[in-house]
Amino acid sequence: METKESTQALNNDQTPGGVGDYTDYGYDSALPSHTNAYIWEPTLRHLHRYVPKGRVLDAGCGNGSFCKALVSKGSYDVVGIDLAESGIDIAKRNVPGATFHLLSVQEDLVEIFGAPFDAVVSLEVIEHLYSPKQFVEGMYRAVRPGGLLIISTPYHGYLKNLALSATGKMDAHFTAHWEGGHIKFFSRKSLTRLVEENGFKVRQFVGCGRWPYLWKSMLIVAQRQG
């Protein structure tokens, strides 16, 4: 997710494969969201560390703002996919150096694009999905053996949850009154387990934004096994 809090605003009866009624987020701008201030730099740094050049897929690309940052590096062949027509339309107009498609990771992306990707990136998407497992399975199929996966999602841990409770912000943070909002809440342990149970090996954990253990978000950097 690169522009607002939801690249794939999915209702509870939906999956990343497009089953059910998908709700288009309604992008109206090519501008990145506030998350670029603390997520993009570590994402780009770790991507370049493991995959200095090659084909990169942005799964849940929204309006393509992060794809634009990838293209600016000059060493990546960038593809962005999303289910939001409004986001894909904006991306196609504003990021001529990348390719954008109205697709889900549940499609056979290797067949569609002719080869697996060297890296798959998905920023602030997985917390919106009914089935994170299916999403990770789709990214596993899309990336080559030994290829890279980078996922970001809001961070949750004991200290942060305690702070939310102590300051009276728990209800607002975990609100159920946000259409298309967050429906999954991950800790470092639970996100690592999800990734590693579905064919990846975590190489790096990065807390993003704010102070340690009160991070706003986190990155999991992992490599496909086999």
Residue 74, pLDDT > 70, answer yes
> Looking at the domain assignment, is residue 1 inside a domain?
no
Burial 136-164 (b: 16+ CB within 10 A, else e): bbbbbbbbbeebbbbbbbbbbbeebeeeb
Total domains present in the chain: 1
Residue 178: the pLDDT is: 78
Q: How many CB atoms are located within 10 Å of the residue 15 CB?
A: 16
Q: 100-143, pLDDT tens digit by residue?
A: 999 999 999 999 999 999 999 999 999 999 999 999 999 999 99
- Compute the distance between CA of residue 37 and CA of residue 34 in angstroms, rounded to an integer: 6
Host domain of residue 106 = 9-224
Helix (H, G, I), strand (E, B) or coil at 16: coil
Q: How far is residue 226 from each of residues 2, 120, 145, 200, 215, measured CA to CA in Å?
A: 30, 16, 5, 9, 32
Alpha-carbon span 202 to 186, nearest angstrom: 15
Looking at residue 3, its pLDDT comes to 37
Confidence of residue 89 (pLDDT cuts 50, 70, 90): very high
CATH number at residue 91: 3.40.50.150
